[in-house]
């Protein structure tokens, strides 16, 4: 039995090396190639939407051998992504690091000027998709519509109604602020380290509502333990089962109740153009794969391939949008 | 009976030639990965994940689980042999494993670790089999207040009992807590305690840096001083006769083993806790309930048995929130989770219904992995003992290099290596001044879990501390914790009462 195990290893190692060198031989014509495993920094804790997504992308790269060297995921979720940002800043010029980002890419440097991060210095690679947000409650409650929800929050009062989310000033808290403003409701916002924990806390009735991403709640929704009330998207953007959830716009609450989470990949500052091209190539293969297309549909993501200067322009526009959101919620002056 | 049928089906899956081969191979690889300081099961599983795309999903998860299990066994080896925790989960094993090895009982310590791991693994697999879905509900009932109460209880087990100087223990805990606060504030994201504006402090102080520093480096400095260059490492031997005596002695610790197994399992199923706090708590409880707490830290076999049974039980336990809630209970299960997503296995309450074969195959293979890890581990003990027979002049540089590598690997930052060396010197000085070091390690592990739990609770209750007492589970744990904390006072009163009739009695 033991022999069998070892022969399986040698086979698999041989297969791995064989495939790797095949890719090298065909695609490498004076192009840049990584010399060692690539660090794939994740700007969030384990188990949340960003983490699962990054690990899924990493698995696709491994499975289909899109890169001659593996991508090794590292979670740096501390301080709403400040840990990851300072880390990436310290890696300027290092071609073996890329980072999966979320909107804390904009908000964290705005809220903590002390960390001295300017996102325009980072090298843009690609935007893979835009993730969406829904308003969720536990399915044990009688809350079935947005009106029920508003009534329930008002009845419970701001002290008793607990909204769970990721770090203070992060996406979930901005969506919560949007919701509070729209309906004139107040809630106690409790920050957790990752969206996965937030989802679990809703099911365990530790909190009353969440604004989770689809991938964080889909398992519980399928099991009938949570209920989405409305989607923070413009109408018609989502397809698949998440497309069946009414949007705030469709429910007649206007078109200003939309918010996205960008799912992009960036690299440190000052890396050569060839390196940037290499990573664009890797992620383009991921983007075009059938698995990724299916994942976007199943997990309520809006497709959004964007690269180069246009991506930087998008980042800057989004940062300014977030500056306004943060000002409105009193997080910054 | 349905569960039994499912389990039998699971065993059929686990004992398919390919899967069984993968279990054995995974255990062996895991054993060595776990034994290498700084590598640990997290890295092992991450490195080998791509390889698993060559086999069917169920086999792949079985393979990764076997590595995970093997690494849990292996972590104890370098803790005992070299005094460097091979993995974070094996830190508590160092406390008594190392002194045992120094006294020439390395074989006994290694066997104790293997047997305890086996018992812990077995009990947890049984618990998993019988109560997985209801226990998932228990995990759901654990909110921030419960989490915080549990952490307080963990601290209490270290302070409350055991004959150490309480003031020095508290001081050591405070040092650990202060170090655990370094980095970025969890709730607001503000930088805290960034000494000299060094960017290396932004990611906080990894507790392995502290543990390897004070145990690996500090221990080596201590040995050099005590022996004055004349080191005789240990009179390590191994024989069948010694094996039997060792097993007899180990079997006397069955109560500790049971305690460690149950405690480890329950701590393991709580999301975010994982095997390291479980092992440390089991050690604390074993020490505080022992008749001879003073012998802990000096080579008590129960001090090896408790954390080893607990960390294996917890590693099975932490599979539970991963499978049923999609929340990884430990860093390693987080990587397993990533694998499951690509295999199309959506973790969540429905996994047990939609992918029955996968779930029960995994559970059965955990059991098989447990058995094989035990056998492989025992088979290698003579080889490990050989290492100890090397002269100290050769062994010391090896230990030193392993420490440096172990300090560097988790964050790949030289900053941490320097920090580790500083901790080594500080640890040595603290030891000279007779300060207990284990509480500092405990605090740096538990601090980052306790702090957000406390703050989330208090945000939810608007600053009302009663939230820790008026919820049934949190309240119960809190009361136990406080009683444990007050134990030294009770003991003092009891001792005084006992000694009262003393002087009056004729001797």
**pLDDT tens profile B419-472:** 999 999 999 998 888 888 888 888 888 888 899 999 999 999 999 999 999 999
Instruction: State residue A162 phi and psi, 5-degree precision.
Output: -110, 120
Across B59-73, B151-165, B227-241, B484-498, the highest mean pLDDT is recorded for B59-73
Mutation site, A69, A78, A202, interface B, largest B CB count within 10 A: A78
User: Into how many domains does chain B fold?
Assistant: 1
Q: What is the mean pLDDT of the segment spanning B341-350?
A: 77
CA distance A254 to chain B (A): 31
The residue out of A244, A273, A292 marking a domain boundary is A244
Q: Residue A26's pLDDT is what?
A: 42
Interface check B133 vs A, CB under 8 A: no
Segments in B270-391 forming alpha helices (H)? 275-289, 302-317, 319-325, 331-342, 351-354, 356-388
Q: Residue A12's pLDDT is what?
A: 43
Tell me, yes or no, whether A138 and A240 share the same domain: yes
pLDDT digits (tens, 9 = 90+) for A140-181: 999 999 999 999 999 999 999 999 998 777 789 899 999 999
Taking the CB of residue B507, how many other CB atoms lie within 10 A of it?
Answer: 4
Interface check A139 vs B, CB under 8 A: no
pLDDT digits (tens, 9 = 90+) for A120-146: 999 999 999 999 999 999 999 999 999
Share of chain B above pLDDT 90, in %: 19
The answer to whether the Cβ–Cβ distance between B460 and A114 falls below 8 Å is: no
Interface check B183 vs A, CB under 8 A: yes
CA distance A53 to chain B (A): 9
Question: Which tops the pLDDT comparison, A167 or A90?
Answer: A90
**Structural domain contains residue B507:** no
Q: Is residue A5 scored above 50 in pLDDT? A: no
The residue out of A179, A212, A244 marking a domain boundary is A244
Chain A segment 59-98 residues within 8 A of B by beta carbon are 59-60, 62-63, 70, 72-73, 75-76, 78-83, 86-87, 90
**Structural domain contains residue A46:** yes
Helix (H) or strand (E) holding B73: helix B57-81
Q: Is residue A260 scored above 70 in pLDDT? A: yes
Interface check B472 vs A, CB under 8 A: no
Residues of chain A contacting residue B331, judged by C-beta atoms under 8 Å apart: 46
Tell me, yes or no, whether A268 and A208 share the same domain: no
Tell me, yes or no, whether A143 and A238 share the same domain: yes
DSSP character at residue A81? G
The residue out of A191, A211, A244 marking a domain boundary is A244
The answer to whether the Cβ–Cβ distance between B349 and A225 falls below 8 Å is: yes
Question: Which tops the pLDDT comparison, B184 or A107?
Answer: A107
Lowest mean per-residue pLDDT among A13-17, A198-202, B111-115, B178-182: A13-17
Tell me, yes or no, whether A197 and A173 share the same domain: yes
**Would you give the distance in Å from CA B502 to the centre of its chain?**
43
Question: Which tops the pLDDT comparison, A12 or B52?
Answer: B52
DSSP character at residue A73? E
In the block, tokens 């949008």 appear at A321
Tell me, yes or no, whether A143 and A210 share the same domain: yes
Q: Residue A303's pLDDT is what?
A: 92
Q: What is the mean pLDDT of the segment spanning A284-288?
A: 96
User: Into how many domains does chain A fold?
Assistant: 2
Residues of chain A contacting residue B458, judged by C-beta atoms under 8 Å apart: none
Q: Tell me which residue range forms the domain holding A197.
A: 134-244
Share of chain A above pLDDT 90, in %: 57
Share of chain A above pLDDT 70, in %: 89
**Structural domain contains residue A84:** yes
Q: Residue B163's pLDDT is what?
A: 53
Q: Residue A46's pLDDT is what?
A: 66
Identify which of A2, A62, A223 has the shortest CB distance to residue B49: A62
**Structural domain contains residue B499:** no
Question: Which tops the pLDDT comparison, B228 or A148?
Answer: A148
CA distance A255 to chain B (A): 30
Interface check B56 vs A, CB under 8 A: no
Taking one residue from A and the other from B, the number of pairs with CB-CB distance under 8 angstroms is: 187
Q: What is the mean pLDDT of the segment spanning B478-492?
A: 83
Radius of gyration of chain A (CA): 21
The answer to whether the Cβ–Cβ distance between A79 and B184 falls below 8 Å is: yes
The answer to whether the Cβ–Cβ distance between A46 and B462 falls below 8 Å is: no
Tokens encoding B501: 């009739």
Q: Tell me which residue range forms the domain holding B477.
A: 2-494
Q: Is residue A289 scored above 90 in pLDDT? A: yes
Tell me, yes or no, whether A169 and A78 share the same domain: no
The answer to whether the Cβ–Cβ distance between A188 and B190 falls below 8 Å is: no
Outline where DSSP puts E strands in chain A.
38-42, 71-75, 97-101, 123-131, 134-138, 162-165, 188-191, 209-210, 226-231, 261-267, 301-307
d(CA B161, CA B159) in angstroms, rounded, equals: 6
Helix (H) or strand (E) holding B92: helix B91-102
Mutation site, B54, B66, B184, B461, interface A, largest A CB count within 10 A: B184
Q: What pLDDT band is residue A11 in, cutting at 50, 70 and 90?
A: very low
**Structural domain contains residue B500:** no
The answer to whether the Cβ–Cβ distance between A82 and B22 falls below 8 Å is: no
Q: Residue A13's pLDDT is what?
A: 43
Tokens encoding B91: 């830190």
Q: What is the mean pLDDT of the segment spanning A54-64?
A: 86
CATH number, position A66: 3.40.190.150
Mutation site, B15, B63, B133, B338, interface A, largest A CB count within 10 A: B338
CA distance A44 to chain B (A): 12
Share of chain B above pLDDT 70, in %: 92
């Amino acid at each position: 039995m033991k022999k069998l195990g070892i022969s399986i290893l040698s086979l698999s190692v041989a297969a791995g090396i064989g495939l790797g060198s095949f890719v090298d031989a065909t695609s490498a014509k004076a192009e840049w190639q990584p010399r060692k495993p690539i660090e794939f920094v994740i700007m969030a804790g384990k188990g949340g939407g960003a983490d699962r997504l990054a690990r899924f992308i990493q698995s696709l790269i491994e499975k289909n051998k899109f890169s001659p060297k593996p991508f090794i995921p590292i979670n740096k979720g501390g301080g709403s992504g400040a840990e990851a940002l300072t880390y990436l800043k310290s890696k300027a010029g290092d071609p073996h690091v890329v980072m999966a980002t979320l909107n804390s890419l904009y908000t964290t440097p705005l809220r903590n000027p002390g960390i001295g991060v300017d996102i325009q210095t980072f090298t843009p690679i690609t935007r893979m998709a835009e993730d969406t947000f829904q308003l969720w409650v536990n399915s044990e409650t009688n809350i079935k519509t947005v009106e029920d929800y508003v009534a329930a929050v008002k009845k419970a009062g701001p002290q008793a109604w607990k909204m769970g989310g990721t770090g203070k000033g992060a996406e979930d808290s901005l969506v919560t602020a949007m919701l509070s403003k729209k309906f004139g409701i107040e809630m106690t916002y409790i920050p957790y380290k990752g969206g996965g924990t937030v989802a679990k806390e809703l099911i365990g009735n530790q909190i009353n509502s969440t604004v989770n991403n689809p991938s964080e709640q889909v398992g519980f929704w399928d099991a009938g333990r949570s209920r989405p009330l409305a989607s923070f998207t413009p109408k018609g953007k989502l397809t698949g089962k998440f497309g069946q959830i009414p949007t705030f716009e469709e429910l007649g609450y206007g078109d200003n109740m939309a918010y996205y989470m960008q799912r992009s990949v960036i690299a440190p500052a000052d890396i050569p153009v060839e390196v940037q091209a290499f990573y664009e190539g890797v992620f383009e293969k991921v983007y075009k794969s059938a698995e990724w297309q299916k994942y976007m549909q199943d997990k309520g993501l809006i497709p959004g391939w964007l690269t180069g200067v246009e991506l930087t322009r998008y980042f800057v526009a989004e940062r300014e949008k977030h500056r306004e959101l943060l000002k409105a919620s009193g997080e910054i002056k | 009976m349905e569960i039994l049928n499912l389990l039998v089906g699971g065993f059929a899956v686990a004992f398919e030639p390919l899967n069984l081969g993968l279990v054995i191979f995974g255990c062996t690889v895991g054993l060595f990965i776990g034994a290498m300081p700084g590598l640990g099961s997290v890295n092992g599983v991450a490195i080998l994940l791509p390889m698993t795309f060559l086999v069917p999903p169920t086999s792949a998860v079985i393979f990764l689980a076997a590595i995970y299990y093997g690494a849990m066994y292996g972590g104890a080896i370098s803790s005992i042999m070299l005094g460097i925790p091979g993995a974070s989960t094996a830190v508590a094993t160092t406390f008594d494993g190392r002194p045992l090895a120094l006294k020439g009982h390395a074989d006994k310590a290694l066997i104790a670790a293997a047997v305890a791991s086996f018992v812990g693994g077995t009990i947890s697999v049984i618990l998993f089999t019988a109560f997985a879905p209801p226990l998932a509900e228990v995990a759901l009932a654990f909110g921030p207040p419960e989490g915080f109460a549990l952490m307080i209880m963990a601290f209490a087990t270290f302070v409350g009992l055991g004959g150490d100087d309480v003031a020095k223990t508290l001081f050591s805990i405070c040092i650990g807590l202060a170090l655990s606060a370094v980095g970025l504030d969890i709730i607001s994201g503000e930088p805290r305690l960034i000494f000299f504006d060094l960017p290396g402090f932004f990611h906080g102080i990894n507790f392995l840096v502290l543990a390897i520093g004070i145990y690996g480096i500090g221990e080596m400095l201590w040995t050099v001083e005590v022996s004055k260059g004349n080191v005789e490492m240990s009179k390590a031997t191994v024989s069948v006769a010694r094996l039997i005596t060792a097993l007899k002695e180990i079997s006397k610790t069955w109560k500790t083993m049971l305690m460690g197994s149950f405690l480890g399992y329950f701590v393991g199923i709580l999301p975010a806790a994982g095997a390291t706090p479980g092992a440390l708590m089991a050690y604390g409880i074993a020490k505080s309930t022992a008749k001879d707490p003073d012998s802990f830290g000096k080579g008590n076999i129960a001090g090896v048995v408790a954390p080893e049974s607990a960390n294996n039980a917890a590693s099975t336990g932490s599979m539970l929130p991963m499978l049923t809630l999609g929340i990884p209970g430990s860093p390693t299960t987080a990587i397993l989770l990533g694998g499951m997503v690509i295999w199309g296995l959506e973790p969540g309450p429905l996994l047990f219904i939609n992918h029955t074969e996968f779930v029960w195959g995994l559970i059965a293979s955990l059991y098989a992995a447990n058995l094989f890890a035990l056998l492989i581990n025992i088979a290698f003990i003579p080889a490990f003992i050989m290492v100890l027979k090397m002269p100290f002049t050769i062994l010391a540089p090896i230990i030193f290099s392993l420490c440096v590598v172990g300090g560097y690997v988790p964050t790949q930052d030289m900053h941490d290596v320097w920090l580790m060396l500083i901790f080594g010197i500080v640890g040595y000085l603290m030891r000279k001044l007779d300060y207990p070091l284990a509480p500092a390690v405990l605090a740096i592990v538990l601090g980052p879990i306790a702090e957000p739990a406390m703050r989330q609770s208090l945000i939810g209750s608007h600053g009302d501390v009663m939230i820790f007492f008026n919820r049934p589970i949190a309240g119960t744990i809190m009361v136990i914790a406080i009683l444990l904390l007050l134990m030294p006072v009770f003991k003092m009163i009891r001792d005084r009462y006992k000694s009262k009739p003393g002087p009056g009695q004729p001797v």
